[in-house]
Every structure is written in structure tokens, then in C-alpha cells.
Structure 1
Amino acid sequence: MSTALLLLPDLLLIVCGFLVCRYTALDRSVWSAAEKLVYHLLFPALLFGAIVRNPLSLGESAALGGGALALTALGVATSLGLGRLPGVEARLHASGAQTAFRFNSYVALALAERLAGGAGVAGVALLVALCVPLCNVAAVWPLARHSQQAFGRELLRNPLILSTVAGLLCNLAGLRLPEVLGTTLQRIGSAALPIGLMAVGAGLQLGGLNASPRLAAAFLGIRHALLPLAGLGLALLLPLSPTQRTVLVMFSALPTASSCYVLAVRMGGHGPFVAGLVTVSTALGMVSLPLWTALAGRLAG
């Protein structure tokens, strides 16, 4: 299966959610409840399980982890910096900024396994553990500030942040879940992606990006051009193994996280705008990921 086809099911799930919400009895009232389920249970279980299942080796992967953190910091700084430009609407910026630096961890894990086997999955697990907490903190901050919610309180009760920090602490402490509990958690988490992506489609308004086309283009440009270029440069500069180069470039070019939409809606953001960004980012990823991973393959060779 090509990299483009790996992302096609995600895009089709968004389309499916759009059609089901508008042309069946499963209307917005159903999907509002589904968004709460994804936000409070399914995505936290996915993130916690992905981190705990794959042992981390910080010493052997310091350069890889540092490169990923640098890329994430670049995405956070540039996307949040857009809010200082004249004419940028505060609610749209607070809602959409996260799409420029958050990433689809499910696609990352699946693609890493296909490109680099177990070593690739272990590398992505490290990046998930290091970068997801930073991404979630940076995503919550502008939304909390815009909605005049207490930032510290939002961090302490945000299920995505709590689950990733808990997973990281358990992993570093060497704790492993009993098989029956791990399997149960994995099955709960496996429902996160399909329901989350269908919720994106259910919330999609085809004109959502018309609220601010230039801002949307800037966010997508950071996610699909600036960060991959920076990732390619870091892969050349850092002392990485061939597998680590592939993982870092792939990480830099991932489409944005589908949970961006759920987080924006649950915190009073502009749902249709974020749903449009997630949809377009997923579609762009079908084109950009094969190109960037091919370049990474040449570097690794």
C-alpha cells in the first residue's frame, strides 16, 4: 500500500461522517455526544496506550527527540505568532493554530511500521511521548485565553494532556500493563480514529475555511511546507541513523491531528473552520507525505 493510500481511509471517514450527519437520522445531537466520548475517553486511551506499549530509550534517541521537539517548537512559535498580525480574528486564530503543529499520531505509528518496522515504531513512540504534551499545552493555551478560562485549570483537567503525561511517567518508570488490561485499553483506543474522523466530517461546513482563507493557508503552509523543510534540514545536520532520519522527516510532514476539531469544539472554538483545516490537511498529506518520505529514503540510503 502506498503512503497516499494509507491516508485515503481517513479522508473517506470524514466524508462518511459528513454524509451520515446530513442525510440520516444520526444528526448533530448524536455527533455532539460522540465528540464528548472521543475527547474524554477514546483519544486519551489511544495516546496512553501508544506511549506505554513502546519502551522509550532516551539516551539512544536524544538527537531524534531533540529534533522533533525543535520542529514542534518551530510550529508552535510560527502559528501562534500569526495572531499578532493585523486583521487576524482572535477566535479563528485560537481555534486553528493547533492544526499547524499537532500531528496525527495514528498515521505516524502505522506509517513508521510500514517504512521502518519495529525500530520505526519505537522512534515514533518516543516522539509521541515527548511532543504530544507540548502540542496539547500549546493548543489549550490560546483557546483558554480566548474563552477566558483559567489556563492552569484547563491543563489540569484536559484529558489529552493527562493521558500523555501519565503514559510517559509509566513508560519511564518501567511499568507495563497486564495483558488483559492492555488489550482492553487498546480496543477502546482503536475506536478513537474512526469516530473522531467521522465527527470531523459531521461538523464540516464546506464553507468553513471561507471565514479566513489567508489564515487557513498560513496554517497549512506551516504544517505541510515549513515543518517538512525544517525536518529535512535537521535530518541532514543531526547525528541520526538512517531509520531515525526517515522517522524525523516523516514526523515533520504528517497531517494534523483529527482531535484538533474535538478540542476546538469542546473549548468554545470555531468548529467548522478547524474541521475544514483537518480535512484539507489530511488530503494534502496524501500528496506531501509520499514526497517527503521518498526524500528521507534517499537520505537514509
Structure 2
Amino acid sequence: MNYAQLLFPDFSLILCGYLLCRFTALDRPVWQQAETLVYYFLFPVLLFQSIAKAPLELRAASSMVAAGVLTGLVGIGLAYAVPHLPWLRNRVDRRDAAASAQVAFRFNSYIALALAERLAGPAGGQAIAVLIGVGVPIYNVAAVWPMARHGGHKVLGSLLRNPLIVGTCAALAFNLAGLTIPDLLAPAVSRIGAAALALGLLCAGAGMQFSAMSGGLTLGACMLLIRHLVSPIAALGFSKLFHLGHTQATVLLMFAALPTASSCYVLAARMGYNGPYVAGLVTLSTVAGVVSLPFALSLLRWL
């Protein structure tokens, strides 16, 4: 499978956003308004659509769900621990650490859906839908938590008002209640979701400033290593622990090595953090996925 070809559309949109912001009349004020639109409307609708239409057969996939949640918790725990490590404690900006922690455990759900079906057919699509439905609320809360705490906001209030978390929780309730998006509305909702993905990546490119990364290379490297190296190894361990079948193990290992979510940048920027720094990490993570996905799948031979 050509992972570079699969990831190229995301990378090219980030590059387009960067070039448009730097070399055309579409400068930062334009993209700041676009970020607001993405954060408060487009991304919540995208999350709602992705989760609401996913068949969440949690009981049938309970072992895989447990392995996926534990893999995610390893990433979250390590990301939170990075600024407290003795050899990094005095070299890491705590606000950048709070903003970039999400890069270590969030994932690009559209790439996940595309890859799962190619790797494992319809069974893979169902398995990844379950992981997305369970993982998105956990990871969104984990992404908002350190930024709300370091930003001096009331953490619970920030979580309850966050549009990504509201959209996710509403979609889970909608799905578990057995409801479906009406046929009349489904095409419009689908187009809004596609717009969210494209515009979010363009915003990430527009907000990217390579100079913003110069002071946080060590921090960024730690977050990317957790996302693209440690998480796949943890997924392998939990696959063995829960005796997952080949299809579920394949999906879990792929899930653990995905590029980070494009919305990391928008979330950091809208919460008042170093958006350009996070945008740079999103770009690097997209490129790193070309290496980490084959690496993760190569671990299947150890099962």
C-alpha cells in the first residue's frame, strides 16, 4: 500500500494554506475568521456525522475497545508526563507542552476510515468505527484538559463549553439511542464534514510558522515519538494481552500509528495557545505517518 499517496492530499492542503497566507491577499485576518468557523461549526458537525453513522457494536468488540482505550491512555499519560521529566523540566515551555500534548494521542479519523477498509474490508471499517466512537470523546477531553488548566480557565466549564466535546457527546447519545441522520439532511451534513476537513488543513497551513518551532524541537520530538513509535508498540502489547484476532489487531495497530488530527491546530489557536507551533507538528506528523504506518503493520508478525 502506498502510504505517501494516501497522505499526500492532507499534506498538499497544508502546503496550499501556507502558500496562500504568505504570498496572496488571503493573509492572517482572513484565516482567523476561517478558524472560528471551523472550530465552532464545521468540526463539531464533522464529529457528529462520523460518530452518529458508525455502528457502535461495543459488546462484540469489547476486547478491542479495551486495548484501544489502554493504548490511548498510554499516549495521554506520556504526553502529560513530558514536561515533568527531570532532564526536560527546565527546557520545556509549559504552555507549549499543554497545547502540543494532543499531538501525541489524537488521530486523523478520515485517514483511519480510508485505511481500515483497504486493509481489512467491511470488518475493518466496523472495527475502526467503534474505535473512533469510543476514542474521540476521551481524546478530546484529554486535549482540552491541560490547556484549560494552564490557561487559568475553570476546567469543567471549559470542557462543557468546548464545541468539539459537545458535538462528540451529542453524537454518542444520538447513536446509542438508535437514531439516524434523516436522508434529506445526510448530503448536506456530509458536505459540511468534507468542508471541515479541507478548511481545517488549510487553516493549519496558514497558521504555520517554522520559526515558532525553533524553541520547542525537543518537546515536539517527544510528542511525535509518542504518537508514531511508542503508541504502535503499546498497541502490539495490548493486542497480545487481549488475544485480538488478526483483523482487530491490524486495525488497532494502524489506529495507533495514524497522523495526528488536523483539528489540533484549530483547537490550540482558538484556546489562545501557540497555534503556529502546533500547526508545524501536525505537518510533521502527517509526513511521519508514511513511516509509522508500515512500521506498525510490520509488528503483526510478532502476534
The alignment's TM-score, normalised by the length of structure 2, stands at 0.95
Distance 2:243 2:236 in 1: 13
Distance 2:180 2:25 in 1: 43
Q: Is the contact made by 1:8 and 1:286 (CA closer than 8 Å) also made in structure 2?
A: no
What does 1:21-36 correspond to in 2, within 5 Å? 21-36=21-36
Q: Are 2:144 and 1:171 equivalent residues in the alignment?
A: no
Residue 216 of structure 1: aligned partner: 220
What does 1:52-131 correspond to in 2, within 5 Å? 52-85=52-85, 86-87=89-90, 88-131=92-135
Residue 162 of structure 2: aligned partner: 158
What does 1:243-254 correspond to in 2, within 5 Å? 243-254=247-258
In structure 2, relative to structure 1, the CA distance for the partners of 1:51 and 1:299 (3 Å cut) is farther
Amino acid aligned to 2:56:
L
Amino acid aligned to 2:248:
Q
Residue 146 of structure 2: aligned partner: 142
Amino acid aligned to 2:286:
T
Distance 1:251 1:225 in 2: 12
What does 1:229-244 correspond to in 2, within 5 Å? 229-244=233-248
Q: Are 2:231 and 1:255 equivalent residues in the alignment?
A: no
Aligned length: 299
- Flag as ranges the 4+ runs of structure 1 deviating above 2 A: 293-296
Structure 1 residue runs of 5 or longer lacking an equivalent are: none
Residue 18 of structure 1: aligned partner: 18
Amino acid aligned to 2:34:
A
Identity rate of aligned residues, in percent?
A: 52
Give CA-to-partner distance per residue, 1:212-271, whole Å, 9 cap, x none: 111111111101111011112222232322211111000110111110100000001111
Distance 2:172 2:285 in 1: 28
Distance 2:71 2:250 in 1: 15
Q: Are 2:271 and 1:267 equivalent residues in the alignment?
A: yes
Q: Is the contact made by 2:210 and 2:277 (CA closer than 8 Å) also made in structure 1?
A: no
How much does 1:47 deviate? 1.1
Q: Is the contact made by 1:113 and 1:121 (CA closer than 8 Å) also made in structure 2?
A: yes
Distance 1:112 1:202 in 2: 30
Q: Is the contact made by 2:68 and 2:252 (CA closer than 8 Å) also made in structure 1?
A: yes
How much does 1:146 deviate? 1.4
Q: Is the contact made by 2:43 and 2:196 (CA closer than 8 Å) also made in structure 1?
A: yes
Amino acid aligned to 1:159:
P
Distance 1:46 1:138 in 2: 19
Distance 1:227 1:74 in 2: 7
Distance 1:82 1:292 in 2: 23
In structure 2, relative to structure 1, the CA distance for the partners of 1:165 and 1:299 (3 Å cut) is farther
Match of 1:288 among 279, 289, 292: 292
Give CA-to-partner distance per residue, 1:74-120, whole Å, 9 cap, x none: 11111001122321211111111110011111111111121122221
The alignment's TM-score, normalised by the length of structure 1, stands at 0.96
Distance 2:233 2:8 in 1: 24
Structure 2 residue runs of 5 or longer lacking an equivalent are: none
Distance 1:292 1:79 in 2: 20
